[in-house]
């Protein structure tokens, strides 16, 4: 696999129903895990500069719920929630993810797997998002963006290469 460029998240679509996000961080993995699972810290980065966090709840135990809400400058509320399924501190976190802004949101719940791998004090983060359907995945990618683009494609990676 190609190395991720520091400062840039790499997003690929491994299959019709998956999204894979990868990024390397200049910190040991127990810190990345802490920043990922502590509400006061999540509030500082999850908004991606697209709004302010209106809620950030984390009940970090198997069966516990999480919920993140962001409000954009024009008042749009973007909310996600889910349930923790598997917790291996500093290594692996599996949870469901529901984007509340789509019809039949619960049916389209994705399964997210966070994996932290440390080498020489640096941590590679991978987030694998698995949707039950291709439509669900495309809606997820589209979340918070304009509507009408639900049909992405698995060809994308080759095409991206052909664009140079």
Partner 1 sequence: MARAATTADAFNAVAEPRRRQILDVLASGERPVNDLVLQLGLAQPQVSKHLRVLREVGAVDVRESGRQRLYRLNGNALKPIHDWVKEYERTWSERFDQLDVVLEDLMEKEEDDGNDD
Nearer of residues 59 and 157 to partner 1, judged by Cβ: 157
Other Cβ atoms less than 10 A from the Cβ of 104: the count is: 7
- Of the candidate spans 11-19, 58-66, 86-94, 110-118, the one that interacts with partner 1 by CB under 8 A turns out to be 11-19
Token reading at 48: 């991606």
DSSP label at 151? Answer: -
CB of 63 to partner 1, least distance (A): 26
List the one residue from 18, 31, 58, 65 that touches partner 1 (CB under 8 A): 31
> Helices marked H in the chain — which ranges?
29-37, 39-42, 134-142, 156-163
Cβ atoms 112, 94 nearer than 8 A = yes
Is 159 one of the binding residues for partner 1 (CB under 8 A)? yes
List Cα–Cα distances, 111 to 1, 86, 99, 116, in angstroms. Answer: 23, 11, 12, 17
Partners of 97 in the β-ladder: 110
Token reading at 132: 């039950």
Rule CB under 8 A: which of 118-147 touch partner 1?
125, 141-142, 144-145
CA 101, chain centre distance (Å): 16
- Of the candidate spans 8-16, 82-90, 93-101, 106-114, the one that interacts with partner 1 by CB under 8 A turns out to be 8-16
CB of 135 to partner 1, least distance (A): 8
List the one residue from 18, 27, 65, 101 that touches partner 1 (CB under 8 A): 27
Q: Which x/- pattern over 40-79 shows residues binding partner 1 (rule: CB under 8 A)?
A: -x--xxxxxxx-----------------------------
Rule CB under 8 A: which of 95-114 touch partner 1?
103
């Amino acid at each position: 696999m190609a190395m991720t460029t520091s400062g840039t998240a790499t997003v690929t679509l491994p299959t019709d129903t998956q999204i894979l996000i990868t990024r390397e961080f200049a910190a040991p993995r127990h810190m990345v895990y802490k920043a990922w699972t502590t509400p006061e810290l999540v509030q500082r980065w999850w908004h991606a500069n697209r709004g302010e966090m209106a809620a950030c709840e984390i009940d970090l135990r198997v069966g516990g719920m999480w919920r993140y809400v962001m409000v954009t400058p024009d008042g749009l509320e973007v909310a996600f929630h889910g349930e923790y399924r598997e917790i291996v501190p500093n290594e692996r976190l599996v949870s469901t993810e529901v984007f509340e802004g789509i019809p039949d949101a619960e049916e389209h719940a994705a399964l997210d797997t966070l994996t932290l791998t440390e080498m020489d004090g640096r941590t590679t983060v991978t987030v694998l998002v698995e949707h039950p359907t291709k439509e669900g995945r495309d809606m997820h990618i589209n979340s918070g963006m304009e509507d009408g683009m639900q049909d992405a494609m698995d060809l994308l990676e080759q095409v991206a290469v052909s664009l140079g």
